[in-house]
Structures are given as structure tokens and as C-alpha cells.
């Protein structure tokens, strides 16, 4: 995990609370010299993805969809305001506590956004959530997370995995259900085109979500 090196606040409401950690071997634990272990809170409801799978037949109430979307957007906005790009935003990396409060987790591939975007071109993340510029090996920034957020929003709304029946090539085209509310559709599309539009800098995901 990269939470300690990235200086993520241990008590941030939108991230899993850090309870402790160790960055070196104290003689009692046989750790590699460069090993870093972080102890985080246990979130009893598991991942958001598992919660969605349980509701595949009966979709989530729209208010709950908005609640999850806003919580995720606020968490990402917090990261982006600190120049942190998560780079693996997906429902499997969103955890739920006993009251269904959403927390962002797994910062193993997160990194600070460089001054020069050309320094960040490596392919990372999870297929199906990765922005086109990442798949093509082009430079990217926090818009990578915004695109992934749009995919998660689709998944939360539909309680299904986008592109589940499509090949990798077909999955490059975003799909919006006709039955989806127009306001939600607009947010999804804007997230998927975040890398092409100007003004979608840090905090953009939360701003767009809160307006709808």
C-alpha cells in the first residue's frame, strides 16, 4: 500500500481509517528491510461490488445510488486536491461499513501527480475501468480517476458490470442505458470524456455529482 508515502490523512472520512503501521523491522517481526505494513479499520459490509451483486435482481433505490456516488466523488476530490491519483478506482476498491458509509481503499498503485504529465504514461488499473488514454500509453492525470468514477457510477446504477458480455475491443466504447435518468447519463458521459474536456481538474467529479 502507498498510503504512508502519499501522506493521506489517517482520519479522512472518505478513506479507510489508518489505525497503525510499521515501516521497518524492529526485531520482533521478520519483515524485509523495505517492507511497509499498514493497519486499517475493518469494514464489515465488505466491498461495494459484493453489495451490488446482492442487488442484481432488485436494483438499489435511487437515493442510495446518489449516496454512494457522492461519497466516492468526495473521496476522489479529496485525493485530487492533494495531487494524488488513485489509478485503480473500481467498486472492488470501495469498502462499506456497518451503516453503508463508503470508504476508498487500496492505494497500492496510487501516486502523486507529476508536474509533467508525460512522466505518467504507464498502463495500470483494471480493464473495464481504464481510460482510453491509459490503454493507449498516452499521458494522463487525475482525469483517469474521473473516467473510472463514471464507470463505477454506471455499475452502481445498474448493479451490473459494464461490458460483461463484450470483448476487450468492444469494451472501449462506453454504453449508457436508455432507461437511465438523463442527469445521471450526463455525469457518466462527462466522466468518460474528462481527458478531452478542459476544466476537469482536481475536484471535478464531486462538483459535477453535487450539481445533479
Catalytic-labelled residue, pool 14, 88, 106, 145: 88
What whole-number distance in Å separates Cα of residue 132 and Cα of residue 143? 11
| Alpha-carbon separation of residue 70 from 123, 127, 190, 196, 210 (angstroms) | 27, 23, 15, 23, 7
What whole-number distance in Å separates Cα of residue 133 and Cα of residue 123? 9
Contact 19, 41 (CB under 8 A): yes
Contact 198, 188 (CB under 8 A): no
Q: Within a 10 A sphere around the Cβ of 122, how many other Cβ atoms?
A: 12
Annotated active-site residue 88? The verdict is yes
Burial string for 27-36 (b: 16+ CB within 10 Å, else e) reads: eeeeeeeeee
Annotated catalytic sites, by residue? 88
Amino acid at each position: 500500500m502507498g498510503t504512508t508515502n502519499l501522506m493521506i490523512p489517517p482520519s479522512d472520512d472518505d478513506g479507510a481509517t489508518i489505525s497503525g503501521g510499521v515501516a521497518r523491522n524492529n526485531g520482533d517481526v521478520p519483515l524485509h528491510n523495505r517492507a511497509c505494513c499498514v493497519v486499517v479499520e475493518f469494514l464489515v459490509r465488505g466491498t461495494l461490488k459484493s453489495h451490488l451483486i446482492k442487488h442484481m435482481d432488485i436494483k438499489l433505490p435511487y437515493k442510495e445510488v446518489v449516496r454512494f456516488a457522492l461519497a466516492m466523488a468526495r473521496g476522489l476530490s479529496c485525493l485530487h486536491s492533494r495531487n494524488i491519483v488513485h489509478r485503480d478506482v473500481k467498486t472492488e476498491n470501495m469498502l462499506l461499513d456497518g451503516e453503508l458509509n463508503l470508504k476508498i481503499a487500496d492505494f497500492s498503485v496510487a501516486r502523486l501527480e507529476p508536474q509533467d504529465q508525460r512522466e505518467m504514461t504507464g498502463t495500470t488499473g483494471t480493464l473495464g475501468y481504464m481510460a482510453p488514454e491509459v490503454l493507449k500509453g498516452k499521458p494522463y492525470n487525475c482525469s483517469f480517476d474521473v473516467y473510472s468514477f463514471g464507470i463505477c457510477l454506471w455499475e452502481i446504477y445498474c448493479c451490473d458490470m459494464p461490458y460483461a458480455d463484450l470483448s476487450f475491443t468492444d469494451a472501449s466504447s462506453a454504453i449508457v442505458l436508455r432507461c437511465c435518468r438523463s442527469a445521471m447519463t450526463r455525469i457518466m458521459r462527462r466522466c468518460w470524456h474528462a481527458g478531452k474536456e478542459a476544466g476537469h481538474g482536481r475536484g471535478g467529479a464531486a462538483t459535477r455529482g453535487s450539481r445533479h
